[in-house]
Amino acid sequence: MYFKVRAATKEDCKEVSRMIMELAVYEKMPDQVKISHEELEHDGFCQNPFFECLVAEVPEEHKSNEGFTVVGYALYFYTYSTWKGRAVYLEDLYVMPEFRGKTCVAVLLAKLKKCKQCVRLQLSVLNWNTPTRDFYAAKGAQDLTVSEGWHFIRFDGQNLDNLANEAPKD
């Protein structure tokens, strides 16, 4: 099946928002999604965007059972490794279930490799998501939790506010 992978536009944000929720349901965390398509539009298409996004699209004659032609997305942003240089962090990679196994994921990943000549692609996968972990391992990804002992750490909400409040007053 033919997939076109292209840079997302502001007009794609409703479709990306829909798929973010589908991914959250799959990951058993739909209550964690708080962002709206309007926020995606602003944050991804402002003067200094916080993220970039690719979408996978099929021709109208191959639309999904629900009538969608945008059937996948990869949302990412740039980071920097002080050891290696330019890096890209893949926040989400999602393809609707009926389009998985048809090279769409591989095409999205291949397009990501071309991002600003980055030397590293980083991402997180839930520990119970064995099919996805196995897929990435088959592509050559390293599980840094196992090989190097790195843990992914997060501050948010009140804990993030507490950090900010510890800063000296100017």
| Residues annotated catalytic, as ranges | 136
What sign does the CA torsion over 86, 114, 134, 62 have? positive
CA–CA distance, 86 with 79 (Å, rounded to integer): 7
CA–CA distance, 66 with 146 (Å, rounded to integer): 40
